[in-house]
Structure 1
Amino acid sequence: MSTATVDQLAGAIAHIGQLIAGIKPDQWGDPTPCAGWDVQALVSHLVLGNAIDTSALTARPMTFRALQAGFDESAGELVAAFRAPGALDRTLEIPFGRVPGVVALHLRLTELLVHGWDLSQATGQPAGFADDVVEQALTHTAPMLTAMPDGRRPFDAPVKAAASAPALDRLAFRLGRRPFSVGR
């Protein structure tokens, strides 16, 4: 299995930044494929996730300021923290549990890809993620999902996707997303 890289994370973050910049003022309250979350709540979740992982990587407590940060600021801090010497070799405490830094990187990248899919679906924008990065995330999630107890899954049960479906759809469906239409 290939290993996620910080450059892949930075690329996914750049695409999500473009998606966020493309959100129209009247779309912030629109529903997303992430049940119960509108566009604003989903973007807030992305900022929170960035802040949590940055805190774990830097061993600095999360601050109220970090929670108020916009996506670009929190994403920049996250990438810098993952680029720090030894970050990928350390064991980190994240909401998923104690994991090596490289696993935390895979998890964060996968979450960003899937929530990027959520944002693209909710706002009618193309996601724009590299297929090879998404395929890598698909490969990485398969054994993790098999090992994860049902009660610990932070998402819905997988949805069957056609083998011919785009890689990002297959990843999103594997993590419990369902087909979604804008303005549903």
Structure 2
Amino acid sequence: MAEVELLAGVLSKTGDVMEGVGADQMSLPTPCDDYDVEALIQHIVGWLRVFEANCHGRTYEADLADHPCGADPAGEFRTAAAGVIAGWEKYGFDRQVAVTGSQLPGEAVFGMTVMEYLTHGWDLAVATGQPIPFTEQEAAEALSRAEGMLLPEYRGVGMAFGEIVPVAADAPAVDRFVAFLGRDPVPTSAR
């Protein structure tokens, strides 16, 4: 799967999940302990704006801790997603990209974006009772990137990622992916 095609698929499916969120679901808890549905949506849109600016060589100036979405968060998300895809297509991966003040290889920032949106798209789908939309191939590629990037020192209490949750080696790729990031996979019967 081509890299930009991978990200475009993940972002499109995450946008679909956002569109499926009901107004009465905003206060529901999510698998991402720090966020209810509304806060997770704000996080998802705010960080996509950061990735969009950064992949175009710009700096995102707004405060990420306080990103209120307007009346159409899914629309905001889709606009930023189109910008992210356009940035990677135009400028490619063989470059340094700034993210929150640090210069990182473009391929690493791209991988972070894939991981971020497959994870939080999954979080949002689980929290709102929607089907998990990601394909085996998308999840397997995200897992491969995560295994190459996510170091043990980023895991544990007070860290960005939890400890790896054990799952069967033949579990669906999306289950292995979210388990690698420290989340309990949702049983297939609950999807």
* Fold conserved between structures, TM > 0.5: yes
Structure 2 counterpart SS, 1:98: strand
Give the aligned residue type for 1:43. Answer: I
The aligned length equals: 177
- The CA deviation at 1:124 is 0.8
1:2-50 CA deviation, whole Å, 9 max, x = no partner? x861111111111111101111111111110000201111111111221
Contact 2:155/2:161 (CA < 8 Å) preserved in 1? Answer: no
Q: 5+ residue gaps in structure 1?
A: none
* Cα distance between partner residues in 1 of 2:30 and 2:186: 8
Question: How far apart, CA to CA, are the structure 2 residues paired with 1:92 and 1:63?
Answer: 16
Flag the structure with more relative contact order, 1 or 2, with Cα contacts below 8 A and sequence separation at least 6. 1
Please state whether the residue corresponding to 1:23 is helix, strand or coil.
coil
Shift of 1:179: 4.5
Contact 2:161 2:181 (C-alpha < 8 Å) held by counterparts: yes
For the residue of structure 2 that corresponds to 1:141, the secondary structure is helix
Any idea what the Cα deviations from partners look like across 1:107-144, whole Å, max 9, x if unmatched? 10111111111011101111211211211121222232
Match of 2:56 in 1: 58
| Of 149, 160, 165, the match for 1:144 | 149
Residues in 2 aligned to 1:95 and 1:169: alpha-carbon distance in whole angstroms? 30
Q: Distance in 2 between matches of 1:159 and 1:138?
A: 14
In structure 2, the partner of 1:123 is 128
Consecutive aligned runs of 4 or more in structure 1 exceeding 6 Å deviation = none
Q: What is residue 84 of structure 2 aligned with on the other side?
A: 78
Q: Does 1:110 align with 2:108?
A: no
Aligned residues of 1:91 and 1:99 also touching (Cα < 8 A): yes
For 1:96 and 1:160, locate their aligned partners in 2 and report how far apart those are by CA, in whole Å. 34
The percent of aligned pairs where both chains have the same amino acid is 32
State whether structure 2 residue 36 is matched by structure 1 residue 30.
no
**What TM-score, normalized to structure 2?**
0.81
Separation (CA, whole Å) in 2 of partners of 1:108 and 1:134: 13
* 1:135 match: 140
Instruction: Sort the Cα spacing of 1:180 and 1:132 in 2 relative to 1 into closer, same or farther, 3 A.
Output: closer
Task: Give me the whole-angstrom Cα distance separating, in 2, the residues matched to 1:162 and 1:151.
Answer: 21
